[in-house]
Amino acid sequence: MVVTEPPKGWMYVIYHGITRSLYLQIRDILVDQIESGKLSPGDALPGERTLAEMFDVSRVTIRKCIGNMVEEGYLIRRRGKETIVASRKVNHRLGTLLGVAEELSESNHIVNVIVLNKGYEKITTEIRNNLKIEDDSQIYAFSRLILRNDKPLVINHSYVSYDLGKLVDPLDLRNDKVLQHMENYGFDISYAEQVITAGICGRKEAELLNYKTGQPVIVIKRTTFLENGYPVLYEKSTYRGDIYQYSIKLLRKNALENSNKAGYA
C-alpha cells in the first residue's frame, strides 16, 4: 500500500523553534506511526516532495530523516523506487527460558518448522563438553529450519544424550515442543546458560535462510539444565541478523540489590 496522505489520527505538527532538530521530530512521528500499527510493514511512504509539503520542511530535511530511519531499520529504501516500512524484527527479552520454536510461537506470527534431519550420530568434543558426557557413545541430534510468516528466520541444531534421544525421537518436531515434552515426563527444567555472538552467514546457511553469504547473523549457543545442574540439551542456533534481536532490562546496582532482597523475602 502506498501512503498518499496521512493515516487517520496522524498528528504531524512539528515545531521550528525548539532545540530538537526538524528531521528528528519527523522521525519521532513516523516511528510512532510504525510502532502503533498505523503504518504497516510493506507500506510505501509518499515521495520526498509530498512529505516535505506535509511537514512544511525542505526535501533535504526529509532526506536526512529517511536516511536516519533506514539506518535504524525502520525503513527500506529501494533504489529507483519507493521507500517502504521494514518488517519489524522478532524481539526476545533475555531472562526467560523458552525453546526456539516455543519462543516464536508466543508472537502473533505464523510459525512453520521444517525438520532438516534427526537421528543418532557420533559425539563431538564440543557436544561432550557441554552435555558432560564422558564416554564416546552416540548422541541424538536434530536440526530444524524455522520460518516466520513463510520467511526463514533461524537454523537450530540440537543435541541430547543417547538415552534422552529415545524420548525425543518419536516427537513430531514440526509441532511438538521439546522442553515441554521433557517437563511432561517429569524433567525439572530449571535454567540455561547461553552465549550470544555475531557471525557471518556461510554458504550453506545462506541457502537455507534465503540470505546472502557474508551477511550478519546472530549465533546463540545454549545449554539447558535441570534443577540439580544436570545438562539435558545443547543447541546452536543461527538467526538472520536483519530480522531478529535480543533485548534486556538493565538495573542499576541499588535497584538490583533491592530486587534480590525482595526475591528472598
Residue-wise pLDDT for 129-165, tens only, equals 999 998 878 999 999 999 887 888 899 999 999 999 9
Q: For residues 118 and 169, is the Cβ–Cβ distance under 8 A?
A: yes
Q: How far apart are CA 49 and CA 58, in angstroms?
A: 8
pLDDT for 73 equals 73
pLDDT for 16 equals 75
- Residue 263 in this model has a pLDDT that exceeds 80: no
pLDDT for 76 equals 85
DSSP element (H, E) containing 203: helix 203-209
What is the per-residue DSSP string for 56-76?
A: TS-HHHHHHHHHHHHHHTSEE
Report, as an integer, the average pLDDT of 208-218: 91
Q: For residues 238 and 199, is the Cβ–Cβ distance under 8 A?
A: yes
pLDDT for 61 equals 94
Q: How far apart are CA 16 and CA 14, in angstroms?
A: 7
Look at strands 244-247 and 90-93 and give their pairing.
parallel
Phi, psi angle pair for 78, to nearest 5°: -95, 130
- Residue 42 in this model has a pLDDT that exceeds 90: no
Q: For residues 138 and 161, is the Cβ–Cβ distance under 8 A?
A: no
- Residue 12 in this model has a pLDDT that exceeds 80: no
Listed in sequence order, the residues at least 6 apart from 251 whose beta carbon sits closer than 8 Å to its beta carbon are: 259
pLDDT for 255 equals 54
Taking all residues of the chain, what is their mean pLDDT, rounded to a whole number? 82
Q: Which domains does the chain have, with CATH numbers?
A: 22-85 (1.10.10.10), 90-247 (3.40.1410.10)
107-131 confidence digits (pLDDT tens): 555 788 999 999 999 999 999 999 9
Cell numbers that stand for 18 in this block: 525548539
